[in-house]
Chain A
Amino acid sequence: MLTLPRGALALAAMLALACSPSLPPVAGCTPGAQRCHDDAPEVCSASQRWEPAGTVPCADVGGVCVVRGAIARCGRAPAFGGPAAPSGDASAPAALDAAAAATDGGAS
């Protein structure tokens, strides 16, 4: 395990105190819940913030964000004429907890 020099820790502490981390806003979601938002999977943190499960939208990997089995992920887009993919926040399956779906509007 890397041991940081004492001076580096002091500098880090000063930096940390000087400004705030760039956390997303508190959304009131249920910790552990997952959703799709702007075509990207997100996970609810213990502080009830939606955190991104990636750095780009699912379209960039050739998919679309879907929630299956309570896990938001990038999935294959449905074939034309096939069943609609549960890609939106409100259309997530029941496995996605209701509290998370209800807070989507204020979560971004």
Chain B
Amino acid sequence: MSLTPEQAAALSAYLFERAGAWYLDPSSDAVRTAGTVLRGLAFLAPVLGTAAAALPAAADVLDARSLVLPTPAGPLVIVGAADRADPARFAEAAVGLAVTAAGLMKVGEVQSIKDYLGSGELRAVREAHVRAARGFVRYLLTGAAPTVDGLVAELVADALLPIGDDEVKLARGSLASAVASIVEENLAPPVRAALDALAWLRQHAPEAIVAEPFKVGA
């Protein structure tokens, strides 16, 4: 039986809570209002100059892309509409966002931003952890085993900032390790949010796990 939308929402909330993040549903009134306001403020372009041009773009981001934003109150997770298209994708996106949020909490928001923007190496490491967790949850819920090439391609395509060749090689090594753990050893990758997702699914939605080695009692 597939993961239901309610289960996906509950799993996501659990993962975000475990990661120390707070969460806004893009379909919520608050976020829809924010998007409307951002688009509406575009008329201020003559006053605000180039900054105003970013406002509609920011509103579009709320629709299209999932984000983790550092805030004084802790990481804020926004799951984009595309990632909520179906429960399995929602769960997969949530575990990736939880990895990012946990990273923010671990080293602090300012340091995390510096790491991500200032070092392609650290960017590759963080993105590889995200991809490992996402690939694992996708495997759990769909049975599609992750491959190193597939995860690397997704990493390169989805990274917020470009990742250089050396960093892609580093990410490939990290993902080869994760895929070996998952596919050859039948273990979760050593990423906290992936473990949290597996534990939650086994307890609350065991019927949604279709990857044989990870079913309850396997």
Contacts and interface: CB of A to CB of B under 8 A. Distances in A.
Given A21-B122, A54-B190, A63 B181 contact: yes
Contacts of B167: 46
A39 B113 CA distance: 28
A77 to B, nearest CB: 10
Given A2-B65, A71-B180, A51 B174 contact: yes
Contact of B114 (A20, A55, A56, A75): A20
Contact of A32 (B114, B118, B122, B173): B173
A40 B186 CA distance: 16
A101 interface: no
A10 to B, nearest CB: 11
Interface in B80-102: 99, 102
A21 B115 contact: yes
A15 B110 contact: yes
**Size bracket of the B interface:** 35 or more
Contact of B117 (A16, A23, A43, A73): A16
Interface stretch (B10-18, B50-58, B203-211): B50-58
A73 B181 contact: yes
A74 B181 contact: yes
A7 interface: yes
Contacts of A61: 181, 187-190, 195
Interface string A3-21: 1011110001101101111
A8 B188 CA distance: 36
Interface of B: 50-51, 53-54, 57-58, 61, 65, 99, 102-103, 107, 110-111, 113-115, 117-119, 121-122, 125, 128-129, 132, 160, 166-167, 169-170, 173-174, 176-178, 180-181, 184-192, 195
Interface of A: 2-3, 5-8, 12-13, 15-16, 18-23, 31-32, 34, 40-41, 43-47, 49, 51-58, 60-63, 68, 71-76
